[in-house]
Amino acid sequence: MQDTKQGTLDVDRDRRRVEVQTGSRLHFGLLDSVEPFGGLGVMVQSPQTRVTVSGSNAFVCEPEYRERFEEIAKGVVALLGCESLPPIKIQVDSQAEPHCGLGSGTQLSLAAAEASLRFLGVRQDPEQLALEVAQRGKRSAVGIHGYFHGGMIFESSIGDSSALNPIQTRTILPKSWCVAILKPSLEMGQVFGLSEVEKFSTLTAAPTALRDSLLKLATQDVIPAAQRGDFTAFSESLQVYNRTSGELFTSIQGGPYNGTEVALLIKWLVDRGVFGVGQSSWGPGVFAWFESDQHAETLMRRLPVGVKVIAMTHPLEHARVVSEQ
């Protein structure tokens, strides 16, 4: 496949297509506001991200993804030791709404990177694919481990910045549990890219007591409740964990949640007896867990005016799906 003399890739443009399909990541919160962070989150079935890679005369992708995918293609070039971008077409068939706390950027980048390499006949170590080709995982590794394994991921906070935090515990949540992902009616300042880097640069390490509390909530309450299928204990402890983790960012958010609209929506849900409520990552995506679809549908019929339902979905228990045609 690779022409080492010319430093280019010789691609059969009529060759198969490679499609990668993955879900979304809800992030329940970090253990600390400095490296190596650590944290807890889960993969859910939707919104879905689906990327297809096929042969082309040159490197092609939609303009809105050009900057992201060119960087990924450069990672492919560096890995394979060639000189020019691979003659492939990267097409985004579906994607989770960006900058809503769904980990859409990580899922999209991983899917594009893996589909590109597989199309070129390369099978890559997951950690190298994530760090060097997709260029993700600088802080939380929940979405990366979730992409490759599915389930609820508790990542260790013992490591260094040159490698992914390892999985400490992976838990499969009951299939019957469902989660509503909601978005407040008013737009808020979105946190991503350089603005996220700047915000983290202002933070100091969590007080020992706060960090210990988060670790205890995760390992002694949330995870054991999920493992034994105890929805009440899971949802109640998760809500406390999420709010407590949010306190790491009070100096930036003005409280445990990022903005008035998110805080008001969470209060509205809690006031109506909903548990397992919280902000995913920086928001504005808000999650609310239910023991069954029926319980969720009852609430969904009486949401405040203007609140957007991003998804009504279920835990994703398996890794991304790769189809090669």
Mean pLDDT of the 163-189 span: 89
Structure tokens at 111: 């899917």
pLDDT at 185: 82
Query: pLDDT tens for residues 228-238?
Result: 999 999 999 99
Q: Which residue has the tokens 């760090």?
A: 131
63 DSSP 8-state letter: G
CATH number of the domain enclosing 276: 3.30.230.120
Pick the more confident residue, 138 or 235: 235
Structure tokens at 63: 């303009």
Pick the more confident residue, 288 or 158: 288
pLDDT at 73: 95
Contacts (Cβ under 8 Å, ≥6 apart) of 319: 147, 148, 149, 150
Kindly report the length of the chain.
325
Q: Using 50, 70 and 90 to split pLDDT, how confident is the model at 197?
A: low
Domain count, the chain: 1
Task: Tell me if residue 304 falls in helix, strand or coil.
Answer: coil
Order the strands of the 308-313 sheet from edge to edge: 277-279, 286-290, 178-183, 308-313
Task: Tell me if residue 256 falls in helix, strand or coil.
Answer: coil
Residue 40 has pLDDT above 50, yes or no: yes
Residue 206 has pLDDT above 60, yes or no: yes
DSSP string of 272-310, one letter each residue: TT--SEEE-TT-S-EEEEESSHHHHHHHHTTPPTT-EEE
Nearest to 24 by CA among 217, 259, 313, 244: 313
* Residue 6 domain boundaries: 2-324
pLDDT at 138: 72
pLDDT at 189: 57
pLDDT at 195: 61
Residue 2 has pLDDT above 50, yes or no: no
CA separation, residue 83 to residues 114, 148, 232 (Å)? 20, 29, 56
Q: Using 50, 70 and 90 to split pLDDT, how confident is the model at 22?
A: very high
Query: pLDDT tens for residues 51-101?
Result: 999 999 999 999 999 999 999 999 999 988 888 999 999 999 999 999 999
Buried b (16+ CB within 10 A) or exposed e, 179-192: bbbbbbeeeeebbe
Query: pLDDT tens for residues 24-35?
Result: 999 999 999 888
Mean pLDDT of the 279-302 span: 93
pLDDT at 205: 87
User: Could you give the percent of the chain with pLDDT greater than 90?
Assistant: 73
Residue 12 has pLDDT above 70, yes or no: no
Pick the more confident residue, 270 or 159: 270
pLDDT at 172: 98
List the end-to-end C-alpha distance of the chain, in Å, as a whole number: 17
